[in-house]
């Protein structure tokens, strides 16, 4: 970690790439616009639900195309990355991305909280929900980062979105017991191990569900998943060779 030049390089490359990505910019602008629209059309309380639930997806969109494209572009075969330093660069990329997106999320949260204080709808528990949304967001970046060692361009994010759509679709269109699952999730109380495991699987692909604050067990699962994804990424980076 103690390589300021590599850290500066990682920071600049990641920042420029995010600012140069039309999809990331569109997501960063569309998300607050959507939350404002909900707040104006309905209420601040409803806007808060959408804000916290959708915030992790801003991280997911930002995590597109993190590793494979750099490897294949040949940009890592440079004097800057001799002696295996390219592995350190790839290792730090996820952290730089998390820091940039986390800073953006913090600004949005500050503005959203200020709106709530002015409108009278702000709740102290929002801090916890924001922290859980950050956790889910960091998990997305780590998971998408690990996937991007094998999937090129934005397909790492696309795969996650498709799996989420399939999981939610299966839940909605399958048995009525699944509908009960959503009720359990809303109260945070599960009647047995089966529903807990099913919801655990859902939380692994859609960690946004932990932002309710009532699902601390699943927040622990997402935290463990974050650690695991970082470990996998670190191993992949250590084994990586530039063959192109």
| Other CB atoms within 10 A of residue 92 CB | 19
Among residues 89 and 126, whose Cβ is nearest to other proteins? 89
Distances in whole angstroms, Cα of residue 80 to Cα of each of 65, 95, 142, 146: 21, 19, 24, 23
Using DSSP's 3-state secondary structure scheme, residue 115 falls into: helix
Which tokens sit at 82? 């001799």
DSSP letters, 33-93, are HHHHHHHHHS-HHHHHHHHHHHHHHHHHHHTSS-SHHHHHHTTTSSGGGGGGHHHHHHHHH
Q: Cβ 108 to other proteins, closest distance in Å?
A: 24
By the rule CB under 8 A, 20 interacts with other proteins: yes
Q: Cβ 81 to other proteins, closest distance in Å?
A: 8
By the rule CB under 8 A, 22 interacts with other proteins: no
Rule CB under 8 A: choose which of 30, 40, 73, 235 binds other proteins: 73
Residues 81-110 binding other proteins (CB under 8 A) are 81-84, 86
Which stretch in 22-30, 70-78, 124-132, 146-154 sits in contact with other proteins by CB under 8 A?
70-78
Q: Cβ 60 to other proteins, closest distance in Å?
A: 21
By the rule CB under 8 A, 74 interacts with other proteins: yes
Spatial distance between the Cα atoms of 219 and 200, rounded to a whole number of angstroms: 10
Which residue is it, tokens 């945070």?
Answer: 188
Rule CB under 8 A: choose which of 1, 4, 125, 192 binds other proteins: 4
Which residues of the shown chain bind other proteins in the complex (CB under 8 A)?
4-5, 8-9, 12-13, 16-17, 19-20, 70, 73-84, 86, 241-243
């Amino acid at each position: 970690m103690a390589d300021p030049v590599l850290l500066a390089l990682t920071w600049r490359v990641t920042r420029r790439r995010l600012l140069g990505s039309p999809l990331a910019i569109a997501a960063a602008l569309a998300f607050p616009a959507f939350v404002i629209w909900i707040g104006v059309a309905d209420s601040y309380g409803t806007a808060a639900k959408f804000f916290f639930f959708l915030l992790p997806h801003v991280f997911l969109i930002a995590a597109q195309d993190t590793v494979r494209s750099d490897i294949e572009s040949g940009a890592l075969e440079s004097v800057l990355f001799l002696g295996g330093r390219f592995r350190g660069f790839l290792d730090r990329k996820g952290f730089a991305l998390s820091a940039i997106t986390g800073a953006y999320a913090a600004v949005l949260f500050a503005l959203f909280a200020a709106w709530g204080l002015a409108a009278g709808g702000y709740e102290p528990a929002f801090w916890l929900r924001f922290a859980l949304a950050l956790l889910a967001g960091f998990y997305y970046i780590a998971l998408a980062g690990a996937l991007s060692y094998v999937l090129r361009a934005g397909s790492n994010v696309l795969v996650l979105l498709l799996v989420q759509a399939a999981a939610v679709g299966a839940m909605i269109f399958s048995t009525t017991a699944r509908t009960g699952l959503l009720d359990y999730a809303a109260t945070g109380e599960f009647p047995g191990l089966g529903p807990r495991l099913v919801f655990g699987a859902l939380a692994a692909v859609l960690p946004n569900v932990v932002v309710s604050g009532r699902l601390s067990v699943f927040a622990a699962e997402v935290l463990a998943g974050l650690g695991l994804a970082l470990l996998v990424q670190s191993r992949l980076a250590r084994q990586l060779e530039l063959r192109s």
